[in-house]
Amino acid sequence: MTVDFKDSIQEALANPNLRGALGRFSEAYRVSRAKAYEGLDFEAIRDQVKAVKANAAGRLDEMAARFQAAAEAKGAKVVRLSSPAEVKAYILALAKERGVRSIVKSKSMASEEIHLNKHLEAEGIQVFETDLGEWIIQLAHQTPSHMVMPAIHMTKEEVADVFSQEVEPGQSPDIPRLVKFAREKLRSRFLEADMGISGANIAVAETGSLVLVTNEGNARLVSTLPRIHVALVGIEKLVENFRDVEPILTALPRNATAQLLTSYVSVITGLTPGPEGKDKELHIVLMDNKRSEMAADPRFKEALQCIRCASCLNVCPVYRLVGGHVFGKVYTGGIGTILTAWFDELKKSDEIQSLCIQCGACNDVCPGKIHISDLILEIRRRLVKEQGQGVAAKAIFKVVNNRRVFHSMLRAASLAQKPFAKGGFIRHLPFFLGDMTKFRSLPAIAEKPLRDTIRRIPQPESGEKAAFYAGCLIDFAYPEMGEAVVKILNKAGIQVLFPEGQTCCGAPARYSGAYETAAGNARDNIKAMLEGDPKWVVSACPTCTVALKEDFESTFTSLGMEGEIGGARRLSERVIDFSTLVKRLVDEGRLTFREGEELEKVTYHDSCHLKRTLHAQQPPRELLGKAGFTLEEMFEADICCGMGGSYSLKLPEISAPMLERKLDCIEKTGAASVAMDCPGCVMQIRGGMDKRGGKVKVEHTANKLLDRLT
């Protein structure tokens, strides 16, 4: 990460307008989006969106040819061009040939992608963006900071200043007046323009139709008034049939702006008469610019299912802190990172991809069912492959990959930390390590790791064995969590094994793109955890659970290590997270809770991997309820706490404000304690609570349940 990039993060975080605007928007968005989907089955709709988009993405060439034939049969001129340079040259030549002096544009991300305005303006043609947000950023000489709301980063005062400087002095920061001003100033531009340029939200191969979605009504004017209409369309906008429009038009407005439908939708098929009654010229440019290459890549093909709703930005806990000028280039946020890596180039996405904390909130709302965070991880992996891992990271992974060295270093650290540790916390670290404890205390490394203390818990002889996978945090920082898990399983008559050969789950390496290291960890763990033929392999860390259950196979697949996949699958079948297993044991009557007293009010924090990968948000809540606690839900319970493994070390400036929000939400419930299923979240939230002197107890669900079970 360059100093400039770190500076841009700091600058964005220090901008109260930006954080206020984005923060308020993201909070309101979740609520209003849910309302817009009332009575509809979002999962069914997004299955349809995915199906129609994937169908077209698998046959882009055929779709483009069919579109061309259909649109040309209706009088349009269709050109299929590949590179941005060709597209710009074509539109410029057309404008010159037709004597075009001024152009009005409705919003087109494809034109932003190729910097079309600059190219046309350099040749003396006037170009006016007419979408209000686009016009503002055009006047301010900026790029959009959001794909749907390009000027969301600016205050009304800033907009008034831009209007005053660039258009007419004396504009006041009154929003209705600013909007009226834009209407008046742009009206004459519409009436005088020789050419209108639009994008398209959907292009239908069957009929040659373009579908344009707007709220302001500018696309209607752009496509009606000037004598020439040019539509610049990325080929990922193609769908096969007219009927395919329905799921996209259902999801796009609801996901983008929480509307049932935008104010205007125009479906244009071939030539249409202009104001004088004569047919206008219609030129449709189908632009490839790497989209075909993307379609040919087995991993990234699914990114073509994007309908550009920007919901991945709206729910992103990082985007809402730093905005699109930091988190993005022309395209912003999660999907923007992926599109930048492809449409621009891989290394242009290096810094922005590092902002992704891998919480997966984007995957849950994506109407195209794109696994956005997984694709960002794949970008990370390819970057590491291309550019290599940083020296420091390399050294760390070398250690992590050698179990004996790694474990003896952790034991040594337990002694070395003595001067800094107090009451189980490290509150200050000297020198360059200071950043790590600025916003939260760190847990002291346990004097005796779980692998030693677990021997003191006598195990019942039983036909039913569970191998406990501790993971580094439970093993070395929070052995009491592991002890609780073991004792609870013992109560159900299960014999718990602790395979000595278990080592780091490989998540830190994988999330840093160091797949070879992750593969080494995977191989060691598969061997260790299957020893003794346990029925269950149980973990009380959701990140480890996901690593064991899903990531091992995926890492081997990415590296082409087919021979290892069988072992990964054998392990995967037995892996289960703590709460899901305990819930099952309770349901089967093998574990029972004590009857009786009313217990304290508890709130529950959803850990990212538990909720979004394992979909196990209900079992811990039900268990806490059955144990007698009163569950009080916090606001945004499933928003990431900012831990993200090593993310909080690499980007403490982003991790800290995420944690602050989480702590506020917890404290607002008035609960006496907060439970969670992830030792990483415990480390972050307990450390933050300690640092702010908060009173809420932070505990793993296992520790909350232990004494409540008979």
Q: Which is nearer to other proteins, 332 or 701 (by Cβ)?
A: 332
Distance CA 539, CA 485 (A): 9
Residue 421 near residue 452, CB atoms below 8 Å = no
Q: Which stretch binds other proteins (CB under 8 A): 149-157, 301-309, 458-466, 550-558?
A: 149-157
Distance CA 427, CA 652 (A): 15
Distance CA 192, CA 217 (A): 17
Q: Which is nearer to other proteins, 265 or 318 (by Cβ)?
A: 265
- Written as one string, the DSSP assignment of 533-589 is --SEEEES-HHHHHIIIIIHHHHHHHTT-GGGHHHHHHHHHHEEEHHHHHHHHHHTT
What would you report as the CA-atom Rg of the chain, rounded to the nearest whole angstrom? 28
Q: Which stretch binds other proteins (CB under 8 A): 183-191, 307-315, 379-387, 661-669?
A: 183-191
Residues 20-39 as x/- pattern, contact with other proteins by CB under 8 A: -x--xx--x-----------
Q: How far is the CB of 293 from other proteins (least distance, A)?
A: 31
Residues 276-315 as x/- pattern, contact with other proteins by CB under 8 A: xx--------------------------------------
Figure out which of the listed residues 120, 233, 268, 643 binds other proteins, where binding follows CB under 8 A.
268
Q: How far is the CB of 286 from other proteins (least distance, A)?
A: 18
> Is 261 among the residues that bind other proteins (CB under 8 A)?
yes
In the 8-state DSSP scheme, what is residue 280? P
Figure out which of the listed residues 111, 117, 145, 269 binds other proteins, where binding follows CB under 8 A.
269
On the CB side of 80, CA atoms within 13 Å amount to 19
Distance CA 262, CA 242 (A): 19
* Helix and strand element counts for the chain (H, E): 36, 21
On the CB side of 451, CA atoms within 13 Å amount to 16
Figure out which of the listed residues 19, 59, 80, 156 binds other proteins, where binding follows CB under 8 A.
156
CA distance between the termini of the chain: 52
The H-assigned helical ranges of 78-194 are 84-97, 109-113, 116-121, 132-139, 156-166, 175-192
Q: Which is nearer to other proteins, 83 or 188 (by Cβ)?
A: 188
Q: How far is the CB of 655 from other proteins (least distance, A)?
A: 27
Is residue 410 helix, strand or coil? helix
Distance CA 287, CA 235 (A): 6
In the 8-state DSSP scheme, what is residue 306? -
Q: Which is nearer to other proteins, 271 or 429 (by Cβ)?
A: 271
Distance CA 231, CA 339 (A): 21
Distance CA 68, CA 70 (A): 6
Figure out which of the listed residues 59, 74, 427, 465 binds other proteins, where binding follows CB under 8 A.
74
Q: How far is the CB of 41 from other proteins (least distance, A)?
A: 14
Residue 265 near residue 213, CB atoms below 8 Å = yes
Q: Which is nearer to other proteins, 242 or 420 (by Cβ)?
A: 242
Distance CA 469, CA 346 (A): 37
Q: Which stretch binds other proteins (CB under 8 A): 212-220, 556-564, 598-606, 664-672?
A: 212-220
Q: How far is the CB of 271 from other proteins (least distance, A)?
A: 7
Q: Which stretch binds other proteins (CB under 8 A): 243-251, 297-305, 333-341, 509-517?
A: 243-251
Figure out which of the listed residues 151, 233, 608, 666 binds other proteins, where binding follows CB under 8 A.
151
> Is 167 among the residues that bind other proteins (CB under 8 A)?
no
> Is 133 among the residues that bind other proteins (CB under 8 A)?
yes
Q: Which stretch binds other proteins (CB under 8 A): 209-217, 426-434, 456-464, 679-687?
A: 209-217
Closest Cα to residue 256, out of 303, 305, 313, 203? 313
Closest Cα to residue 450, out of 514, 397, 407? 407
Distance CA 160, CA 165 (A): 9
Q: Which stretch binds other proteins (CB under 8 A): 207-215, 363-371, 418-426, 579-587?
A: 207-215
> Is 218 among the residues that bind other proteins (CB under 8 A)?
yes
Q: Which stretch binds other proteins (CB under 8 A): 114-122, 244-252, 467-475, 622-630?
A: 244-252
Q: Compute CA distances 689 → 23, 429, 677, whole Å.
A: 22, 18, 17
Q: Which is nearer to other proteins, 73 or 457 (by Cβ)?
A: 73
Distance CA 483, CA 467 (A): 13
- Using CB under 8 A as the binding criterion, the count of chain residues that bind other proteins stands at 67
Distance CA 51, CA 105 (A): 31
Q: Which is nearer to other proteins, 196 or 449 (by Cβ)?
A: 196
Figure out which of the listed residues 198, 255, 262, 517 binds other proteins, where binding follows CB under 8 A.
262
Q: Compute CA distances 386 → 348, 351, 460, whole Å.
A: 13, 15, 52
Q: Measured at the alpha carbon of residue 676, what is the angle toward residues 674 and 680, in degrees to the nearest 5?
A: 115
Q: Any idea of the CA torsion for 41, 46, 52, 55, to the nearest 10 degrees? A: -130
Q: How far is the CB of 38 from other proteins (least distance, A)?
A: 11
Q: How far is the CB of 180 from other proteins (least distance, A)?
A: 8
> Is 335 among the residues that bind other proteins (CB under 8 A)?
no
Figure out which of the listed residues 111, 130, 138, 613 binds other proteins, where binding follows CB under 8 A.
130
Q: Which is nearer to other proteins, 229 or 381 (by Cβ)?
A: 229
Q: Which stretch binds other proteins (CB under 8 A): 117-125, 273-281, 311-319, 641-649?
A: 273-281
Q: Which stretch binds other proteins (CB under 8 A): 214-222, 284-292, 422-430, 628-636?
A: 214-222
The H-assigned helical ranges of 492-541 are 507-511, 515-530
Q: How far is the CB of 190 from other proteins (least distance, A)?
A: 7
Q: Which is nearer to other proteins, 272 or 462 (by Cβ)?
A: 272
Q: How far is the CB of 253 from other proteins (least distance, A)?
A: 9
Q: How far is the CB of 266 from other proteins (least distance, A)?
A: 6
Distance CA 224, CA 222 (A): 6
Q: How far is the CB of 488 from other proteins (least distance, A)?
A: 48
Residue 383 near residue 347, CB atoms below 8 Å = yes
Is residue 465 helix, strand or coil? strand
Q: How far is the CB of 150 from other proteins (least distance, A)?
A: 7
Residue 576 near residue 644, CB atoms below 8 Å = no
Q: How far is the CB of 11 from other proteins (least distance, A)?
A: 20
Amino acid residing at 519: A
Q: Which is nearer to other proteins, 203 or 481 (by Cβ)?
A: 203
Residues making contact with other proteins (CB under 8 A): 21, 24-25, 28, 74, 130-133, 136, 149-152, 154-156, 159, 175-176, 178-180, 182-183, 186-187, 190-191, 204, 207, 209, 215-218, 220-221, 223-225, 242-243, 245-246, 249-250, 257, 259-277
